[in-house]
A = this chain, B = another copy of it.
Amino acid sequence: MSDAVIQDPIGLDVTEEVAAQLRVDSVRSSASAGSGHPSSSMSAADLLAVLVTRHLRYDWDEPAATGNDHLIFSKGHASPLLYSVYKAVGVIFDEELMTGYRRFGHRLQGHPTPVLPWVDVATGSLGQGLPDGVGVALAAKRLENAPYRVWVLCGDSELTEGSIWEALDKASTYGLTNLITMVDVNRLGQRGATELGWDMDAYAARVEAFGARAIVVDGHDLAAIDEAMTAATATDLDRPVVILARTVKGKGFTTIEDSPEWHGKPLPADLAEQAIAELGGERHLQVRGPQAPNVTGPDLAPSAVQLPTYDQGAKVATRKAYGDGLVALGRADPRVVALDAEVSNSTHADQFAHELPDRFFEMYIAEQQMVAAATGLSVRGYTAFASTFAAFLTRAHDFVRMAPISGADLRLVGSHAGVEIGADGPSQMALEDLAMIAATHGSTVLYPSDATSTVALVQAMADTPGVVYMRTTRGAYPVLYGPDETFPVGGSKMLRSTDDDTVTLVGAGVTLHEALRAADTLADEGINARVIDTYSIKPIDTATLVAAVNATGGRIVVAEDHHREGGLGAATTTALVGAGITGLHLEHLAVDGIPGSGTSTELLAWAGIDADHIATAARRLNQH
């Protein structure tokens, strides 16, 4: 066992040894953990051996170097293979592979996450790594003008995820010739055979129909793989390349080769021993493949943002203000980019598209790919704002769920919130979006009521890590705040307040305006209502809510244009209970039915969340 590092250029004879080592280590690591997917790792070992020894341009000592290629395991369950690669290049040691894999408190998790510096995005939910890779490739080709390539390893089973085809479609449209997809076609999924088995022609036809060039290879013929990867990285490509590798699950250990019985099963000790013997025994080679070119990233220094201002009282839709704020941000900060899903004239992302077209990416009707691209762009340090109708963001929920695990910063904007949208009806109305985002790890949920707060919060979004969501409204409502007001995340605005308030009214977005009208009506009846604009739903301004509730005898009405669960009412209730408030008299107005079409006014009344209903609830509470 030589300690010498074998350097580039590496011959295929060494590659063959590396491939065997990757197989051996996949068996060893999963066997020692008693958990993992060795057979899924063994089928792709030749692909990775050739890639890492002869094509992946990567400085393993400088994972953040701009010139580095990117490697994403869309088939994240092949983590034994990925970690074995890390050992082969010397960035992790054999001991960690054998004692840390899938163990509590260790970084070699069951599916890769960016706790490891060589991992861009967390995978494990299939059909995500490739769309994420589209985002990274977009950054290289359209923003950084950098020469790095994005290599994505997919399984064949995951090609039934529609998101894969959203990805290839965008790769074609955007000419992402720097994106190389490698499909490990081992014909076996978790439960049994895939639909297409080893019908390589069928896969090739699909891939080519979606605008890529298919290169079909024997996934265990190193020379053929090597040739395919050379072709895939030619400088005169006109289309992205998809390498379709015909492979055998469990390749290298005949006992399990091509067997449907071994998915996700580590080899028991005796079989592991046999496998290692058949593979020629343990190896501890260290290799370093091609170096990454020395590339400086673009200069992305921001300047001061000049937010637009609005005249108090003027009617401006918050979705319009989003458009304004995004442009202002984009003018000042070259890292800001925007994406939309074919509704930018509705979300007002089109303003950015018109003013800064080089930094706008139309994703067409493909919300999963849009959110994944935002994730990939954030990997490259861009501040990506992704917008669509809030209702349609639910299409990308699994991508939103994975973002915190990836440590990604996602700026999501959902327009056309609630029944307020009117005539289009329920399919277009977001009534569960707050719940979706609030339940996402570490998220921030913002719901501004006017244009001034919207542009301030758009700026705040850019500086807030993690998944950050802003909900915007279709209709135009009066500007409430002057340009010098500040809107810290986690704060709120108290719009009405006296020393004799007997009830607190809490709203956000359209219901904040309804609450103000209700307060006016109540004032005429001699009832003083405190009105709080909870523009920050998560984190929520517990202190202000507590003070208000204490000042108003525990009487509080919360109204939201959202279903009853998981939104503003839930957040308010949880905050007050958590703060130890006793004697709470809370009325929660939310959308309980299924709306139809109608005008905003009709629907807000029907839903019981308009000024009349808020006032009625307040009067009811005042009887206590």
List chain A positions with a Cβ less than 8 A from chain B.
Answer: 33, 35-36, 76, 102-111, 113, 115, 122-127, 157-158, 160-166, 169, 173, 189-191, 194-195, 202, 205-206, 208-210, 340, 342-346, 350, 362, 364-369, 391-392, 394-395, 397-398, 400-402, 404-405, 422-428, 431-432, 435-436, 438-442, 538, 563, 565-567, 569-571, 573-574, 577-578, 580, 582-586, 588, 593-594, 596-599, 602-603, 606
A113 to B567, CA, bound (A): 26
Shortest Cβ distance from A353 into B: residue: B191
Query: Which of B189, B346, B571 interacts with A342 by CB under 8 Å?
Result: B189
Whether B366 pairs with A160 at a CB distance below 8 angstroms is: yes
Contacts of A124 in B (CB 8 A): 424-428
Among A33, A570, A602, A603, chain B packs the most CB atoms within 10 A around the CB of A570
A401 to B392, CA, bound (A): 10
Whether A599 pairs with B113 at a CB distance below 8 angstroms is: no
Query: Which of B346, B435, B566 interacts with A190 by CB under 8 Å?
Result: B346
Beyond the given A189-B365, A440-B563, please list 11 additional residue pairs across the A-B interface where CB-CB is below 8 A: A109-B596, A113-B425, A162-B164, A162-B368, A190-B342, A397-B397, A405-B426, A438-B565, A439-B566, A441-B593, A570-B570
Query: Which of B191, B209, B350 interacts with A350 by CB under 8 Å?
Result: B191
Whether B195 pairs with A427 at a CB distance below 8 angstroms is: no
A237 to B97, CA, bound (A): 54
Contacts of A365 in B (CB 8 A): 126-127, 157-158, 160-161, 189
Whether A404 pairs with B439 at a CB distance below 8 angstroms is: no
Smallest distance from the beta carbon of A100 to chain B beta carbons, Å? 9
Query: Which of B210, B424, B566 interacts with A570 by CB under 8 Å?
Result: B566
Copies of this protein, total? 2
Contacts of A169 in B (CB 8 A): 160, 195
Contacts of A397 in B (CB 8 A): 394-395, 397-398, 436
Whether B424 pairs with A364 at a CB distance below 8 angstroms is: no
Contacts of A342 in B (CB 8 A): 157, 160, 189-191
Smallest distance from the beta carbon of A322 to chain B beta carbons, Å? 16
Contacts of A422 in B (CB 8 A): 35
User: Can you show 23 pairs from A to B with CB atoms below 8 A apart?
Assistant: A102-B424, A103-B598, A104-B597, A110-B425, A110-B597, A111-B427, A113-B425, A113-B426, A125-B391, A125-B427, A161-B366, A161-B395, A162-B166, A162-B366, A165-B165, A190-B345, A209-B210, A404-B594, A431-B439, A432-B436, A538-B565, A565-B571, A570-B570
Whether B162 pairs with A423 at a CB distance below 8 angstroms is: no
Smallest distance from the beta carbon of A116 to chain B beta carbons, Å? 11
A169 to B194, CA, bound (A): 12
Smallest distance from the beta carbon of A600 to chain B beta carbons, Å? 10
Contacts of A573 in B (CB 8 A): 573-574, 577
A415 to B571, CA, bound (A): 27
Smallest distance from the beta carbon of A31 to chain B beta carbons, Å? 13
Shortest Cβ distance from A166 into B: residue: B162
Contacts of A426 in B (CB 8 A): 109, 111, 113, 122, 124, 405
Whether B364 pairs with A190 at a CB distance below 8 angstroms is: no
A586 to B570, CA, bound (A): 15
Whether A194 pairs with B364 at a CB distance below 8 angstroms is: yes
Shortest Cβ distance from A593 into B: residue: B441
Query: Which of B194, B401, B594 interacts with A432 by CB under 8 Å?
Result: B401
Query: Which of B104, B160, B395, B435 interacts with A438 by CB under 8 Å?
Result: B435
Whether B596 pairs with A104 at a CB distance below 8 angstroms is: yes
Contacts of A173 in B (CB 8 A): 195
Whether A398 pairs with B395 at a CB distance below 8 angstroms is: yes
A225 to B346, CA, bound (A): 34
Smallest distance from the beta carbon of A46 to chain B beta carbons, Å? 24
A362 to B191, CA, bound (A): 10
Whether A584 pairs with B586 at a CB distance below 8 angstroms is: no
Smallest distance from the beta carbon of A310 to chain B beta carbons, Å? 25
Q: Closest 5 A-B residue pairs measured CB to CB?
A: A162-B162, A124-B427, A104-B598, A435-B439, A397-B397
Smallest distance from the beta carbon of A346 to chain B beta carbons, Å? 7
Shortest Cβ distance from A402 into B: residue: B427
Smallest distance from the beta carbon of A396 to chain B beta carbons, Å? 8
Whether A597 pairs with B566 at a CB distance below 8 angstroms is: no
A254 to B579, CA, bound (A): 65
Contacts of A164 in B (CB 8 A): 162
Contacts of A125 in B (CB 8 A): 391-392, 395, 427-428
Whether A405 pairs with B427 at a CB distance below 8 angstroms is: yes
Smallest distance from the beta carbon of A173 to chain B beta carbons, Å? 5
A281 to B392, CA, bound (A): 38
Shortest Cβ distance from A163 into B: residue: B162
A321 to B603, CA, bound (A): 44
